[in-house]
Amino acid sequence: MSANVLVLSGYGLNCEEETLQAFEFAGLKGAIRHINDLIENPGELNNVEVLVVPGGFSYGDDTGSGNAFAQKMKLALWEKLRRFVERDTLTLGICNGCQIVANLGLIPALDKKYGERLVAVTYNMSARYQCRWIDLQVNPANTSPWLLGGGRMHIPVAHGEGRFMMDESLLKKLQNANQVALSYIKPDGRAAQGEFPFNPNGSMADIAGMTDESGRVLALMPHPERGMFIWQRDDYHELKDRAEREGDSLPEEADGIRIFRNAAVYFGGKLKKSA
């Protein structure tokens, strides 16, 4: 048995194919649905365990990245979405999807109050589109099923509006609740401390991703689906040369695949228990 994955598309979302492929590579089955088709048949969410809003530039980022798409979802699907996240399901927002999930108020959803927009994901401090590989640290105290195994990750970012912003009191609450799930770091493991390009957008507290209180909703700006295989890495040839000199071989998989495998592990265990 396998969990059903639904990856949204439409109006400028443009990473749905590779995102679904990542889940399928991890052993899950799924489908891509245009948002209008889901609005026409919202009951489809009853048969889905994983909902994904992938990257892209929905509505050309007009009115702010992710805002218009989020409003469309909220007006047409809110009750179904709320019930979906309150079930034992997983929700993932990547890049533009992260912005959409934040605008929907699915994160941080303090006290399980979904629907209130508390954080902004806004213009990079550089005022430029940033496309580069970055290093991340998983918060070891965050218990999200998406991030089992913790540690560090090396995956790419590609966005013009990726800066998490909120008031200081909210930031402190999220840090105390360990909802800041992913942080930008330097290659040597030290905190980026806002330094460009290690923190590519100027995000408060080096935030790259956060979860709701349950950990089952994850929103992150980097693209794990673009860093699934070792040959995709920006430093692949350096790693390959070093491995050859030392008589070692490189693994096929890279850090990004872990997020998708974790979804399979989460539902694999649950489906086995219920079988």
**Set 49, 161, 213, 225: catalytic member:** 225
**Set 15, 49, 95, 161: catalytic member:** 95
Edge-first strand order for the sheet with 217-220 is 29-34, 4-9, 50-53, 90-94, 217-220, 207-211, 180-185, 130-138, 152-159
Q: In angstroms, rounded to a whole number, what is the distance separating the alpha carbons of residues 38 and 34?
A: 7
Give the DSSP letter of residue 99: H
**Set 15, 98, 161, 223: catalytic member:** 223
**225 part of the active site:** yes
**98 part of the active site:** no
* CA proximity to 93, closest of 19, 184, 204, 10: 19
Q: Which two tokens stand for residue 227?
A: 């860093």
CB 270 within 8 A of CB 88: yes
Specify the amino acid at residue 155. I
- End-to-end C-alpha distance for the chain, whole angstroms: 9
**223 part of the active site:** yes
Could you tell me which residues are beta bridge partners of residue 31? 6
Tell how far CA 65 is from the center of its chain: 15
Q: In angstroms, rounded to a whole number, what is the distance separating the alpha carbons of residues 4 and 10?
A: 20
Q: In angstroms, rounded to a whole number, what is the distance separating the alpha carbons of residues 182 and 30?
A: 26
Q: Which two tokens stand for residue 6?
A: 């639904």
Active site residues: 95, 223, 225
